[in-house]
Chains A and B, each alone.
Chain A
Amino acid sequence: MDSVFEELYQKYHQDIFQFLFYMVRKRELAEDLVQEVYIKVLKSYHTFKGKSSEKTWLFSIARHVAIDYFRKQKGWKKRLAEKFDVTEHPIKDKAPLPEEIAMQNEEIQLVYQCLDACTLDQRLVIILRFIQELSIAETAEALGWTESKVKTTQHRALKVLKKEMQTRTKREGRDE
């Protein structure tokens, strides 16, 4: 096994996998994407200059891989589906919760589901800040943003999450 891979695996594999899982919300897909991250890393490891930390560098690559995936998803088939008004949300709502989430309490399940309402940028910030527990500075480095952009996006993301949680809670209250 390649020594670079071995070292990176030991230090960061589960973090990167978890980041990708919360971005794409499918275990099998996260497994594929984490491999893409390694392929990119192994090809460009010699160019890593140590300007940022190894960890934030890996997150920045994982972020690109995730964004690329979402862009590829916007293929013609999807657009065709959109024309026929098959909106994404109902499909997502019906998707079963991953086992790890289904075992959690009601609030945590709700938070997980409401992450859907965030934009890609907002989701990136929420995952890095609260799930990966990166500092504002580390998040800014991983995303190539300014710290103030991280703060603003985080603020907006929390606002969106709160609103979505309230809407869903009210809706479920009415449905009962």
Chain B
Amino acid sequence: MGEFQDKELEKWLKSLPKIEDHRSPSDIYRQIEWKMKRKKRRSWIISSVASVAALLLLTFLYIPQWLQDNDFAGDSYEQRQNVAENEKNGKFAKKSEKEIHLYTEEPSPGSMDKEGTSDTESDAGGNYEGLYSAVYDTDISGYQTFIYPIPDKEGQIIVPVTVLAKRESDKNRMEQFEELMPYLKEEEWGLSDYFPINGKLTLSENDKNLHVDLPPNHQYGEGSSAEHNFIRVMHYTADMFGAETITFSTAGNAGVNFGHTGFVEKMQVQKEASCGYYFYYPSGTEKKPYIVPSGHSCQNIREALAAMKNNVESERLQASIPENFLIREVAASGDLLIMRLDERAAITDDVDTIYTIEAILLTAKDFQFKRVRMENANIRRVGKFEFGKDWPVPVGPNLIRLEK
């Protein structure tokens, strides 16, 4: 066989044999019925177990609190307060009792045992250099970050990708942002070929305005999805540059015509809605996910963390917090988010847990937290994340190194 021609190949593909299911429809239907009943029963059992667990949890949580409130546990409270003072130079001693309790509770004997037995390997934590997805302050000395909001190939979600660029004193940030656009390899990254923008972006830092000038034949009004995504990308970009408004022009004349929205001259910048970060695998086979915000809104971070345990089918986003990552309590202390894990949470030191932690950190950032602390894990650390310590939230998600 030599060179293959398209026609020949198509002919062979069309000749692939018909494959039939030989089971009878009644057999198939019986199995479907059985599966559906089993699913219902399983969800009933799960909800019953969850209710009992919730009751038990309430009992465990409230009885010690009640004892404390009634001064029956005075000694241990003082002791805890001292630990808090030692740990945080008195900073948290001023917080409410509930917060101090959350920070300083001694690990239970069970978890001490767990730590003791898992010892050295989990103490060190795996080396995941180069595998982290997000960008942190410590990664960027001498560099500045640009976040490009890139739509996926189906145009359903926006994937924020962070790119590092050397600081260049003779150029402003917007110039550098535009200069880097041609170097983005969106298709190679499994996303849609979106940048450079077919237009000119100008930032007026004094007016906090992003001006967008489009050519008359621009493609951003072709179909509601193209238009919707373009507007999202512009809002995202404006927000990154600290702009509060966006103005539009077409070939220098004020305003732009969008098929759906109509004629627009100015928009107030709206921050992307956030209900947690999820995993996105463009073709379903990648090893490293993009960590992507859902685009829905949530009331608070508790709601977001609960939502992150479920897939968002409509946007093909995968849950970023696995079932066994059990979070018992979430509390805020200024710009610090404190998460207390359940005793039964089975945290493993692997790269998937790194991505789960990064998804949580990015979510915390969206809710204006600057640091996150996780307490009561069954291991000491996962990669560079040491439990019980404050972790700064990332500078940006999905770091991609550009080859210029």
Contact = CB atoms under 8 A, between A and B. Distances in A.
A135 interface: no
Interface in A147-176: 149, 158, 161-162, 165-166, 169
Interface string B1-28: 1011010011011111111110101101
A22 B9 contact: no
Interface in A1-39: 1-2, 5-6, 9, 13-14, 17-18, 21-22, 27, 30-31, 34-35, 38-39
Contact of A9 (B28, B318, B350): B28
Contacts of B19: 17-18, 21-22, 27, 30, 98, 100
Contacts of B316: 67
B308 to A, nearest CB: 16
Contacts of B14: 130-131, 133
Nearest to B15: A108
Sorting the interface of chain A by its residue count into under 10, 10 to 19, 20 to 34 or 35 or more gives 35 or more
Contacts of B15: 104, 108
A76 B9 contact: no
B12 A82 contact: no
A166 B5 CA distance: 11
Interface in B253-270: none
Interface stretch (B30-38, B112-120, B205-213, B297-305): B30-38
A71 B318 contact: yes
A103 interface: yes
Interface string B347-384: 01010100000000000000000000000000000000
Q: Which interface residue of B32, B287, B348 has the most chain A CB atoms within 10 A? A: B32
B313 interface: yes
A76 B12 contact: no
A152 B4 CA distance: 19
A85 interface: no
Contacts of B350: 76
B35 A35 contact: yes
B9 A64 contact: no
Contacts of A121: 153, 283
B21 A70 contact: no
Contact of B284 (A70, A79, A166): A70
B29 interface: yes
A112 B15 CA distance: 10
B154 interface: yes
Nearest to A38: B32
A79 B9 contact: no
Contacts of B39: 39
B208 to A, nearest CB: 36
A145 B12 contact: no
B4 A162 contact: yes
A101 interface: yes
Interface string B269-296: 0000000000001011101000000000
A76 B35 CA distance: 26
Contacts of B3: 166
A126 B25 contact: no
Nearest to A37: B32
Given A31-B21, A100-B19, A166-B4, A1 B26 contact: yes
Interface of A: 1-2, 5-6, 9, 13-14, 17-18, 21-22, 27, 30-31, 34-35, 38-39, 42, 64, 67, 70-71, 74, 76, 79, 82, 98, 100-101, 103-104, 107-108, 110-112, 119-121, 126, 130-131, 133, 144-145, 149, 158, 161-162, 165-166, 169
| Shortest 9 CB-CB contacts between residues of A and residues of B | A130-B13, A17-B21, A100-B17, A21-B19, A111-B12, A162-B4, A18-B19, A9-B25, A169-B1
Interface of B: 1, 3-4, 6, 9-10, 12-21, 23, 25-26, 28-29, 31-32, 35-36, 39, 153-154, 281, 283-285, 287, 313, 316, 318, 348, 350, 352
